[in-house]
Amino acid sequence: MSPEEIKNAICKELDERKAVDITVLNVEHLTVIADYFVICTARSNKQVKALAEYVEEKMEELGVPVLRSDGVREGKWAVLDFGSVIVHVFNDDTRMFYCLEKLWSDGNNVEFYAGQK
């Protein structure tokens, strides 16, 4: 799968599981670590864990295994590394504290996912 296809599949899965404020940052021109960051908010620490586990499972079914993950057990911020796409699942407070959109945005690389309703 291409990085864009991976990003789109992840956003679709997050949307189906009621993630909030799904945001995609195109960072390929800013760093070599990934092409996209997918950032979303969960309504609780339990949902952070559930979203991360669900995305990991669904992507593996599509043949895209997670390379590394961290923070899933704690439930404040889970990060899943799929190589070209890195997923950040935050609870509300942690997302506001780190504000990755400000750190990694150059103004033209942000898109908001609006699921196919």
Q: How confident is the model at residue 14 (pLDDT cuts 50, 70, 90)?
A: very high
What pLDDT score was predicted for residue 117? 42
Q: Over 70: is that where the pLDDT of 107 sits?
A: no
- Residue by residue, DSSP assigns the chain as --HHHHHHHHHHHHHHTT-EEEEEEE-TTT-SS-SEEEEEEESSHHHHHHHHHHHHHHHHHTT---SEEESTTTSSEEEEE-SSEEEEEEEHHHHHHH-HHHHH--SSSEEE-----
Q: Which of residues 63 and 105 earns the better pLDDT score?
A: 63
What CATH class has 3-112? alpha beta
Percent of the chain with pLDDT over 70: 95
Q: Which of residues 113 and 4 earns the better pLDDT score?
A: 4
Mean per-residue pLDDT, 50-61: 97
- Averaged pLDDT score across all residues of the chain: 91
Q: Is the pTM of this model over 0.85?
A: yes
Please report, for the chain, the start and end positions of each structural domain, with discontinuous segments joined by +: 3-112
